[in-house]
Amino acid sequence: MSILDQDKLGAFCRHTHVEMQGAASGTLAGLTFGLKDIFDVAGHKTAFGCPDWLRTHEAAKVHSVVAKKLLDAGAHLVGKTHTEEMAFSLTGENAHYGTPVNVAAPGRVPGGSSSGSAAAVAGKLVDFAIGSDTGGSVRGPASFCGIYGIRPTHGRISLEGVCPLAPGFDTCGWFARDADLMARVGDVLLGGKAATPGRILLAQDAFALATPEAQAALQPALAHVTQVLGKAEPVTVSAEGLNNWFEVFRVLQFAEIWDTHREWVMRERPNFGIAIGKRFEAVAKVTAAEVAQMKPKREEIAGRIDKLLANNAVLLLPSVPDVAPLLNCPHDQTTAFRERAMGMLCISGIGRLPQVSLPLANVNGLPLGLSIAAARGNDEMLLALAKKIN
The Cα–Cα gap between 188 and 357 comes to 20
Strand partners, 317: 371
The Cα–Cα gap between 189 and 186 comes to 5
SS3 of 119, please? Answer: helix
Closest C-alpha among 153, 150, 232, 200 to residue 313: 200
The Cα–Cα gap between 112 and 116 comes to 8
Q: Are 380 and 190 in contact (CB under 8 A)?
A: yes
Residues 6 or more apart in contact with residue 269 via CB below 8 angstroms: none
Cβ atoms within 10 Å, residue 328 = 11
Question: For the CA atoms of the chain, what is the radius of gyration?
Answer: 19
Q: Are 92 and 99 in contact (CB under 8 A)?
A: yes
Strand partners, 314: 200, 374
Q: How many CA atoms lie within 13 A of 256 on its CB side?
A: 18
**Which of left, alpha, beta for 202 (phi over 0: left; psi -120 to 50: alpha)?**
beta
SS3 of 249, please? Answer: helix
Strands (E), 122-218: 128-132, 148-151, 172-176, 200-203
Q: Which residues does the annotation mark as catalytic? A: 36, 113, 137
Closest C-alpha among 93, 1, 75 to residue 35: 75
